[in-house]
Chains A and B, each alone.
Chain A
Amino acid sequence: MCPCHDATLFDLRSSWEAGYRHPETLKRATAVFMGPCQGKLCGKVAGDVIAALQGAAEPEERRPSVRPPLFPVRMGDLAYEDESKPAGGAA
């Protein structure tokens, strides 16, 4: 199911059976959507599994938010070179 975090179909089904019956809570219970792929590998399959568990063609709820950055980015590439420079813009 999720090669990043080793979540299996069994994990998803058993978490669902235990009561984690929402994409947001199933995400937190199994770590699908949360690995380095950020759902690119598991998102569609997880959605299909959720839909099947709900007995529908599509999941009732949308998948959890995709968080920025969309691809893993090295921290050093985002850091300001001038260490004294504060982040731009108003807080």
Chain B
Amino acid sequence: MTLPGVATGRPKAGYDVVVVGAGVQGLATAYELARSGVTNVAVLDRSWPGGGASGRNGEMIRSAFSSREWAQLFDLSLRRFSELSAELDFNILFSPSGYLVLSTTDEELRRQDLVAAKQAEYGVQSEILDAAEVRRLVPHANPELARGGIFQRRAGFAHHDAVVWGYLRAAARAGVSVFSGVDVHAVLTSGGRVTGVRTDGGDIAADIVVNAAGAYSDDLNLTADVHLPLVKARLEMIVTEPVKPFLRCAVATPHLLGYCHQTARGEFVGGTELPGHDETDSLNTTYHMLRDMATKWVRLFPDLGGVRILRNWAGTVSQAPDLAPVLGEAPGVSGYHLSIAWVYGFMGAPAAGRLLAESITTGRVPAVMAPFEARRLIEGRSIAESTLVVTTDGRS
């Protein structure tokens, strides 16, 4: 056992559903399946649950995106985050203390009215802030960079480990078996249907297999002859020593390619990115990203210059060209479902788990989930979302 809720002993020879990956996607999906009455479910992970990107991300949560697809998916997630502590009977430390997407350039300032108008059309409530309003909200921010923004008041952040642990415990209580230390080598198929998985401890039969393997989801797809244009990418973050509260809301800065918040314990936590992606599955950190983060955060919050960095870590994801997740049944393999290509996976998991479980149990794809089907990547269709803090095409 590695965490409360993890099963002891070895998996059975077969289950109704096998989920590969005990990260937040796999556990949320398993929990929602059990809630719908499908309890003969195994979640398999080679390591401890939440050891990958689920426990390495920026913890931030919003639904104020510029596209209808992202806004609707993530608004369901945001609503779920606000009810999860009570529902899972586990405090996930959800802080609805607001989420600010900063505007820095003239172009960003010009666009923010348009983006907020679209959000209103999608039913996502957000506020347009001018320079003075941003200054009141984040008084420590450099006014040259904090010239405006879009603020979503009911968004915020939660504790990523607690969300994993809460889903894990609740899934286990509902009858799901979560195994740590079981390495899945391949998805087994026959005649265009999934039949189970091959593990280091033998084959496990299942009519439904869910790929929630995070950075390794593309490797798993290849074993089932599912070919999608995904790439691995490494992201890095830092955490500082605790300081007195100075930043109440979560902040994203597309101009600096950065995202940050201050934890309840007082630590400043943030990550930055460079244009393009670092295609590796190494979890080592790099000196140039450490300096990139220090440079950008001191520039945005000059007072942080005297605050000490305690740790720098990395996490890996597998991402699609449009940076949107892939949700739903894999093309050509009946019964093989995907919850992969997550870059904003922590904030999307509560919605994705519910929608994927619904599509598995009813056989119908919910409308909010439909745009994220894998086929879009094969047919070259992109979901255009303009407020992400990440690029793949070399522009920032």
Contacts and interface: CB of A to CB of B under 8 A. Distances in A.
A24 interface: yes
Given A73-B308, A75-B304, A86 B292 contact: yes
A90 to B, nearest CB: 8
A69 B241 contact: no
A88 B48 contact: no
Interface in B270-297: 273-278, 285-286, 288-292, 294-295, 297
B312 interface: yes
B4 A20 contact: yes
A91 B305 contact: no
A77 B240 CA distance: 14
B140 interface: no
A87 interface: yes
B382 interface: no
A73 B295 contact: no
B292 A18 contact: no
B241 A89 contact: no
Contact of A91 (B274, B285, B304, B308): B274
Interface of B is mostly: mixed
A72 interface: yes
A87 B292 contact: yes
A76 interface: yes
By size class, the interface of chain A is: 20 to 34
A47 B122 CA distance: 52
B273 to A, nearest CB: 8
B161 interface: yes
Interface in B303-356: 304-313
B194 to A, nearest CB: 31
A76 B305 contact: yes
A67 B312 contact: yes
Residue from B273, B295, B305 whose CB has the most chain A CB atoms within 10 Å: B295
B264 interface: no
Contacts of B297: 75
Nearest to A35: B310
A78 interface: yes
Contacts of B308: 36, 72-75
Interface of A: 18-22, 24-25, 28, 34-36, 38, 67-69, 72-80, 83, 85-91
